[in-house]
A and B are shown apart, each in its own frame.
Chain A
Amino acid sequence: QSVLTQPPSVSAAPGQKVTISCSGSSSNIGNNYVSWYQQLPGTAPKLLIYDNNKRPSGIPDRFSGSKSGTSATLAITGLQTGDEADYYCGTWDSSLSAGVFGGGTKLTVL
């Protein structure tokens, strides 16, 4: 059971928009920055979003992040088949003094 809760799967058609939620508590999302990672099959995770809503260089603006209270959301617009991957949210948990990840969400582009 992960500290952060994500939907196991989401799906949408090419060109559409999809959102992935990440729910936590005041000890993690509520008081710390959230990051989002994309993991394509057989590869290492890749940072998509850090500090809730910032994109590293090279990440297209189709990917965006937001946070409200104890929840965070990753939005992907203009979906492409190459976006099919597992997506994870992560943050620091001040009560646990540990890093925590969501259980991951599998994105299917129909």
Chain B
Amino acid sequence: EVQLVESGGGLVQPGRSLRLSCAASGFTFDDYAMHWVRQAPGKGLEWVAGISWNSGSIGYADSVKGRFTISRENAKNSLYLQMNSLRGEDMALYYCAKDMQEQLDLGMDVWGQGTTVTVSS
């Protein structure tokens, strides 16, 4: 079964850091680009970051550039999102999603169930 399972969310104080992980199974992980997409409570989808199959192409939303770092470890079928200097506006449900292509294309055919990040003092 093709599956993505996110972990690492939780309650964090403003200005602190958190690292999200996404474990992939059921497909050849290193054949595809991957993305992080978030959704604040009651709001729409926001693309956060994406990484190509070999980490050669990486992109970030302006809202997180310089604070978040996306990475992947193909040998472990895992995707990561290091989030630093967290703000209240980063509070959201974070989804890991698989692209249908090797390069960043935004056709995302597999999604995890998400992990919740709460930023509060």
Contacts and interface: CB of A to CB of B under 8 A. Distances in A.
Contacts of B106: 32-33, 35, 90-92, 99-100
B104 A47 contact: no
A22 to B, nearest CB: 13
B108 interface: yes
Contact of A101 (B46, B59, B114): B46
A49 B24 CA distance: 23
B19 to A, nearest CB: 21
Interface string A71-94: 000000000000000101011100
Contacts of B107: 33, 35, 47, 50-51
B45 interface: yes
Interface residues of B, number: 24
A101 B47 CA distance: 7
Q: How large is the interface on A (under 10, 10 to 19, 20 to 34, 35 or more residues)?
A: 20 to 34
A64 to B, nearest CB: 16
Given A96-B62, A100-B47, A33 B114 contact: no
Interface of B: 35, 37, 44-47, 50, 59-62, 95, 97, 100, 104-109, 111-114
